[in-house]
């Protein structure tokens, strides 16, 4: 267990197996080996091991909770819910299981029950930083009025008060204060954070996004890495953020309209692949499907999810520039929103495509369609339709098709986006 906690998974696995050779029904070895198998992408084996452990010690709340986590992280919220409820039957004040229960209820869109479950957690454990943070996200995700946003900001503030390592709570606080039009307070959150951590790219970027410093022409690589490596670790946030997230589906549907019927013959690049949500949607078209992303944490998750022939940790523009004439299709869901100016990356995409190859990507839409681009207080950029058309044309693309669609929700509101397709001319 010491090796496991120190993340030395190979040693831990060998030792758990040695224990099981001596004593095949040792429940802790079965249970923790199950957790370890899941961490290494062998989730089915993990489920079986923990189920075996639970036959031997049926009233083990941690084992039920960990079994629930595997189901939750494999996208089976109903099975996860049943496990968390069993954990709570064994130990009614199991805070971790209570928080997890709230998350999977929210993921199943059972909002009243989820709200009640967060409430129970914070009644039992008023200093549970994760509970305050998750309730803050809940209130913000489903906000119906300003009061919900006010309460959400209070939750993020409290989460940071009880655990000052919870920097994601601080970032969420800044974004929420800005949404409440408390702009000076939002900027002050980032200034204080920068004073404590002058090298941290997150508050630097967010301060600029709130107009407190000059906006960069593109989110810098350190910011993207820091943001997404942290995000990759949190299955809860991924699960909850993806509730109304449709960019991969909407982009794939638009591409179906221009690509030949799926014949598995294309060389495809998923540019900014994240945790790999586009892979299953594009797999049938691909002879060779490559995912590239700047965040090693996200690429690790994409590797566990599977579906790619190759995955690379690299900056997108340089990667495209290094692979001329290599792809029949380049797609990029919700990634160019971290790029301000698009000239360089679209020229690189053009060069990486073969003649007749398609490029497909999503952007957030600037309300003023004639504007070029703007950075928003969420840290992402919005682009004007005319600007996108001009850059595509000057990069050599033709047959440009841009449709408006809502790609996600933020603070209870649909975020307007563009779904863009363009073809490299023969």
166 to 205: interface string for ligand SAM, x by CB under 6 A: ----------------------------------------
Residue from 46, 248, 307, 417 in contact with ligand SAM (CB under 6 A)? 248
Residue pair 297/235 in contact (Cβ under 8 Å)? The answer is no
Q: HSE, CB side, 13 Å, CA atoms: give it for residue 337.
A: 23
User: With respect to ligand SAM, which residue has the nearer C-beta, 125 or 342?
Assistant: 342
Assess 342 for contact with ligand SAM (CB under 6 A): no
User: With respect to ligand SAM, which residue has the nearer C-beta, 298 or 366?
Assistant: 298
Q: CA–CA separation, 147 vs 142, rounded Å?
A: 12
DSSP state for residue 339 in the 8-state scheme:
B
Token pair belonging to 199:
């090298």
Residue from 47, 277, 320, 422 in contact with ligand SAM (CB under 6 A)? 277
278 to 307: interface string for ligand SAM, x by CB under 6 A: x--------------xxx--x---------
Output the smallest distance, CB 59 to ligand SAM, in A. 39
SS3 424: strand
In 10 A of CB 353, how many CB atoms?
27
Assess 381 for contact with ligand SAM (CB under 6 A): no
Q: What are the C-alpha distances in Å from 179 to residues 132, 184, 185, 411?
A: 19, 12, 11, 8
257 to 276: interface string for ligand SAM, x by CB under 6 A: ---------------xxx--
| Residue in 321, 328, 330 with CA at minimum distance from that of residue 351 | 321
Assess 384 for contact with ligand SAM (CB under 6 A): no
Assess 155 for contact with ligand SAM (CB under 6 A): no
Q: Exposed/middle/buried for 95, CB within 10 Å: 0-12, 13-18, 19+?
A: middle
Q: What are the C-alpha distances in Å from 107 to residues 80, 93, 186, 242, 261?
A: 11, 22, 29, 9, 34
Assess 330 for contact with ligand SAM (CB under 6 A): no
Assess 61 for contact with ligand SAM (CB under 6 A): no
Number of residues in contact with ligand SAM under rule CB under 6 A: 19
Token pair belonging to 265:
């013959």
Q: CA–CA separation, 68 vs 86, rounded Å?
A: 9
Assess 347 for contact with ligand SAM (CB under 6 A): no
Assess 238 for contact with ligand SAM (CB under 6 A): no
Residue pair 83/65 in contact (Cβ under 8 Å)? The answer is yes
Which residue of the chain is nearest ligand SAM when measured via CB? 274
Largest CA distance in the chain: 72
Name the one range near ligand SAM by CB under 6 A: 5-13, 39-47, 58-66, 328-336: 328-336
Residue from 106, 128, 328, 334 in contact with ligand SAM (CB under 6 A)? 334
Q: Which residues bind ligand SAM (CB under 6 A)?
A: 224, 228, 247-248, 272-274, 277-278, 293-295, 298, 315-316, 333-335, 338
């Amino acid at each position: 267990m010491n090796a496991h906690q120190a993340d030395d998974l190979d040693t831990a696995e060998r030792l758990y197996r040695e224990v099981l050779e001596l004593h095949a029904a040792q429940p802790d070895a079965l249970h923790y080996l199950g957790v370890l198998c899941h961490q290494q992408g062998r989730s089915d084996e993990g489920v079986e091991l923990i189920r075996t452990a639970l036959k031997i010690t049926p009233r083990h709340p941690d084992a039920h909770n960990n079994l629930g986590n595997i189901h939750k992280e494999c996208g089976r919220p109903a099975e996860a819910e049943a496990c968390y409820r069993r954990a709570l039957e064994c130990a009614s004040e199991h805070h971790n299981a209570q928080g997890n229960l709230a998350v999977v209820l929210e993921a199943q869109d059972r909002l009243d029950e989820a709200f009640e479950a967060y409430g129970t957690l914070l009644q039992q454990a008023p200093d549970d930083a994760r509970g305050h943070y998750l309730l803050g996200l809940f209130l913000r995700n489903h906000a119906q009025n300003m009061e919900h946003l006010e309460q959400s900001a209070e939750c993020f503030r409290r989460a940071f008060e009880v655990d000052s390592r919870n920097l994601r709570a601080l970032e969420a606080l800044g974004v929420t204060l800005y949404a409440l039009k408390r702009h000076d307070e939002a900027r002050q959150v980032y200034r204080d954070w920068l004073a404590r951590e002058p090298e941290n790219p997150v508050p630097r970027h967010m301060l600029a996004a709130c107009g407190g410093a000059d906006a960069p022409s593109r989110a810098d690589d350190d910011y993207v890495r820091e943001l997404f490596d942290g995000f990759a670790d949190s299955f809860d946030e991924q699960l909850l953020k993806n509730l109304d997230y449709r960019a991969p589906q909407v982009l794939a549907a638009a591409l179906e309209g221009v690509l030949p019927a799926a014949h598995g013959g294309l060389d495809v690049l998923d540019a900014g692949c994240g945790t790999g949500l586009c892979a299953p949607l594009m797999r049938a078209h691909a002879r060779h499907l490559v995912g590239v992303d700047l965040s090693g944490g996200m690429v690790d998750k994409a590797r566990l999810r599977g579906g790619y022939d190759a995955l690379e940790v690299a900056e997108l523009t340089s990667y495209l520039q290094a692979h001329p004439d290599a792809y029949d299709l380049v797609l990029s869901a919700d990634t160019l929103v971290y790029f301000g100016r698009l000239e360089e990356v679209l020229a690189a995409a053009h060069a990486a495509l073969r003649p007749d190859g398609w490029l497909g990507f999503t952007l957030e839409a600037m309300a003023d369609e004639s504007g070029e681009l703007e950075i928003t207080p969420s840290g992402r950029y919005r682009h004007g339709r005319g600007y996108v058309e001009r850059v595509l044309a000057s990069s050599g693309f033709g047959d440009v098709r841009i449709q408006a669609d809502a790609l996600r929700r933020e603070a209870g509101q649909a975020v307007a986006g563009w779904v863009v397709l363009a073809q490299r001319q023969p």
